[in-house]
Structure 1
């Protein structure tokens, strides 16, 4: 599932490019939205985000596309692959600027992990 946002002035760091913290916030938020749609009625919390490496700086006015697909499901957790692409103003084409995996766990009211229902659509490995 894809989500989009535009990089605005309030998202920039002191060098004039996208602040990494803003990108991580969007990844957490958008991936949680996808997971919540996949597991309706389940309370999901973020437990991990792996391999934080920013591949390219992102300019103001860029349109970001977040591609978020399920990769693995355990008994109580699910991991999504996230790829972020930037389409810069006047740029020749969209480029991948970031990728990671993010894992959510289902919890009850006391914060104890709970079994997840089986998700049928998984990203094929490879």
Structure 2
């Protein structure tokens, strides 16, 4: 589920299921990183339709709090920087149930717009 908040921000949600748990009983971090990349990619494609984006960077990876099974997590994607061929989104992750007041994770994801041969192309607005 996604919701557009304004022209630079989009919100997405994900339910944490038992198959996403690690051996400690909390969310396996690899799933969260995959979802963050996916959320940022979907947001970039919705903001800039018709472009092909590849992820070129993911900033600091620091898990701030455990995420439990059954939590519905909210991803807030904010377009922070737009270059000629690249985009950077700040992705903030919060809970909606048990941890609704806590920032669970935050990072930046950068993309470059490429053609079918992998060469950079200018962003069209």
TM-score (norm 1): 0.88
Aligned residues: 116
TM-score (norm 2): 0.88
Structure 2: runs of 5+ lacking an equivalent: 1-9
**Cα distance change of structure 1 residues 73 and 93 upon mapping to structure 2, 3 Å threshold:** closer
Whichever structure has more strand as a proportion of its residues is: 2
Structure 2 residue 23 is matched with structure 1 residue 14:
yes
Give the Cα–Cα distance (whole angstroms) in 1 for the partners of residues 68 and 45 of structure 2: 30
Provide the residue aligned with 2:109 in structure 1: 102
Contact 2:94/2:100 (CA < 8 Å) preserved in 1?
no
Provide the residue aligned with 1:42 in structure 2: 51
1:57-72 matched pairs, under 5 angstroms: 57-72=66-81
Give the root-mean-square deviation of aligned CA atoms. Answer: 1.2
After TM superposition, the runs of 4+ consecutive aligned structure 1 residues lying more than 2 A away are 91-94
Structure 1: runs of 5+ lacking an equivalent: 119-126
